[in-house]
Structure 1
Amino acid sequence: MELIEQRIVKRAQKGDRLAFAELVELYKDKLFNLGYRMLGNPQEAEDIAQEAFLRAYANLNKYNADHKFSTWIYRIATNLCIDRIRKKKADFSLDAEVDGIEGGDMYSRLSAQGDTPEQEVVRLETRREVQDAIDGLPDNYRAAVILKYLHDLSLIEISEILEVPVSTVKTRIHRGREALRAGLRPML
């Protein structure tokens, strides 16, 4: 995959827009998911993904082929998320009222797939509590935890994305896990 990706990037660097469109197709869902996990808002996640691709396109000539393209694009998206979080602290929640949706919140749009109403309520409450706990983590811990456990990236990849030593990544993941454990203890 890396070799194919490198070829696509080289074509994109030479001005091939279709090659860049291939890169967008490869990473759009991953960047959306990253943005959604970090920001908790699908519109903002979409904005982050688009902005990350715009910045990548504008700076494609600065991309260093010694590193994986995925690491570079994740770094751009993660930094955009952290900037957005710092600029406006969580003013949107997944269980906030949404215009035009009867019942009102984003959770009401999820299908139950055969669960009883009681099971659905428990699952939604658990999901909200976990997301709230993740949202409550300091920015640097949140980014490391999301990249590790939700995107299944290696410590080295996370280190490159966050531009910190691997030992710092390990510390952030450990402390993030401990903070989540403490925040979720009442659920256990």
Structure 2
Amino acid sequence: MTAPAAETPVFTSGAEAMTHLVETADPTREPAADMADLAQVIRTLLDVTARRDTRVRLGGNLFDVVITGAGLQARRAVEALDQVQGGCGPVIEDPERGWLYWLVPPGSCGRWAPHSHAVCLGAPHTITLPSLNRHAPPGPYWLRPSASDRLVPAGPLRDVLAQYRPEPTPHAALAALLGITP
């Protein structure tokens, strides 16, 4: 005698399938401790692909950010990194604050020594990335678009910033914004 075949459920949506998986999961299995982080990363990626501005945490596996003034010398620094990298990695311009945000590899903040013309931030800070299709004001926009294959290398960036010395420096305004007292 053979056992009757189990009925295969039919789902009309991905949500139904997920609900079924949750309801039929073994109760002894606990979700991974970092599932909330994973869910946030997925929501962020969905926002980015939907071409919406999205807030992301710095550090982790994504990137840190170096903040400089956005004047003429900063533009020359971008052009210099265009030469170094064959096209500069991602840079966001914030015309309201007069800053550039250079997206550098994660962990750069921990290795970044004080610099007279730049500040490097990582976790626990956040940044709002503009929509991928925003290439002009109003608001922050991609001066150099984000590409999946590169970030701005911190070492060459540091050297270029020391050479071009972009003004105004962000130190005092950033400290006031973050509520840091000297």
User: Fold conserved (TM > 0.5)?
Assistant: no
> Rg bigger for which structure?
2
More helix by share: 1
User: Larger RCO: Structure 1 or Structure 2 (Cα < 8 Å, ≥ 6 residues apart)?
Assistant: 2
Structure in which a larger fraction of residues adopt strand = 2
> TM-score, with normalisation over the residues of structure 2?
0.26
